Amino acid sequence: MRKRIVAGNWKMNTTPAQGYELANEVSELSKSTPNNVELIIAPPLTHVALIAQSLAGSRIKVSGQNCAAWEKGAYTGEVSAEMIASTGASHVIIGHSERREYFKEDSETLLKKVNIAMSNGLMPIFCCGEKLNERDANEHFKVVEQQIADVLFKLSANEMKNVIIAYEPVWAIGTGRTASPEQAQEMHEFIRQLIEKKFGNEIAQSTSILYGGSCKPDNAKEIFSKTDVDGGLIGGASLSAKDFIAIAKSFPK
Ligand code: PGA
């Protein structure tokens, strides 16, 4: 019913030559992966075009890791959604916790980015997730609800059909400390209920919700076995084609 997706967020890793090689290795190994799993890789912007061209015609989709909140103009150092789309990329990650934290991206900015991405034909992978102190204070549901309400609830139902959600508890990103499958399921179910209340059952049931945060070949099976977990947004492990593909093979039959 809804898509199973494994997306690799390479972050600020690989040179163009290394990225090109990694992308082709992923593409080669993907031949052994079930066809009902969508594979996406998000290389750094310097090599998105190169990789999108090299993977054209393959089953691997290419994503940006971020886009500007403006269409075009005097924004030194920024890259627009139109530019990213023109490379052949189909997706863009919006609101990753590293963008929220280090670049102070707030919900107002993220809503602009989601809108601009969609108006240029890019499918947003919208990230949400609580920090450790918020979980410890038992505020994780409240925090995630606010992040979703501030951005996704501002979209129309038709727009919402073109959004992928990634739940990434900040305390699990790059820390080796993953959420338990139960913690992931509990939050994914909660997010789906939020989407259902706002947009109805059909959209809630067809929205893919990915888990992110220290997802590895040895824990993906358990996490992906949960009903409301539709795949993963993979950081560290996506830098190894073998690990990334092993994760993509971790869905229940
Ligand atoms: P990680 O990163 O898999 O290295 O924890 C996930 C992410 O930030 O998307």
Q: What is the pLDDT of residues 6-56, one digit of tens each?
A: 999 999 999 999 999 999 999 999 999 999 999 999 999 999 999 999 999
Using CA positions, which residue lies closest to atom 7 of ligand 1?
Answer: 235
* Predicted local distance difference test score (pLDDT) of residue 83: 98
Q: Which amino acid is at 118?
A: M
Please report which confidence band the pLDDT of residue 174 belongs to, taking 50, 70 and 90 as the band edges: confident
Q: At what angle do helices 16-29 and 48-55 cross, to 10 degrees?
A: 30
Atom of ligand 1 nearest to the CA of 173: 5
* Predicted local distance difference test score (pLDDT) of residue 78: 98
* Predicted local distance difference test score (pLDDT) of residue 51: 98
* Predicted local distance difference test score (pLDDT) of residue 177: 85
* Predicted local distance difference test score (pLDDT) of residue 67: 98
Using CA positions, which residue lies closest to atom 6 of ligand 1?
Answer: 235
252 CA to centre of ligand 1 in angstroms: 22
Residue 80, pLDDT > 90, answer yes
Q: Can you tell me the distance from the alpha carbon of 18 to that of 14, in angstroms, rounded to the nearest whole number?
A: 5
Using CA positions, which residue lies closest to atom 1 of ligand 1?
Answer: 235
Q: Can you tell me the distance from the alpha carbon of 228 to that of 192, in angstroms, rounded to the nearest whole number?
A: 8
Q: What does DSSP assign to residue 29?
A: H
What is the pTM for the complete model shown? Answer: 0.97
Q: Can you tell me the distance from the alpha carbon of 22 to that of 16, in angstroms, rounded to the nearest whole number?
A: 10
- Quick check: 7 and 232 in contact, CB under 8 A? yes
89 CA to centre of ligand 1 in angstroms: 20
Q: Can you tell me the distance from the alpha carbon of 39 to that of 6, in angstroms, rounded to the nearest whole number?
A: 5
Nearby residues of 13 by Cβ (< 8 Å), 6 or more positions away: 44, 239
pLDDT tens readout for residues 187-214: 999 999 999 999 999 999 999 999 999 9
* Predicted local distance difference test score (pLDDT) of residue 111: 98
* Predicted local distance difference test score (pLDDT) of residue 1: 75
* Predicted local distance difference test score (pLDDT) of residue 172: 93
Instruction: Determine if ligand 1 sits within 6 Å of the CB of residue 174.
Output: yes
236 CA to centre of ligand 1 in angstroms: 6
Atom of ligand 1 nearest to the CA of 166: 9
212 CA to centre of ligand 1 in angstroms: 6
Please report which confidence band the pLDDT of residue 96 belongs to, taking 50, 70 and 90 as the band edges: very high
Catalytic residue among 47, 98, 168, 188: 168
140 annotated active-site: no
* Predicted local distance difference test score (pLDDT) of residue 107: 98
Averaged pLDDT, 221-239: 98
96 annotated active-site: yes
Atom of ligand 1 nearest to the CA of 213: 5
Atom of ligand 1 nearest to the CA of 98: 8
* Predicted local distance difference test score (pLDDT) of residue 175: 86
Give the three-class secondary structure for 203.
Answer: helix
* Predicted local distance difference test score (pLDDT) of residue 53: 97
Residue 228, pLDDT > 80, answer yes
Averaged pLDDT, 228-237: 98
Instruction: Determine if ligand 1 sits within 6 Å of the CB of residue 243.
Output: no
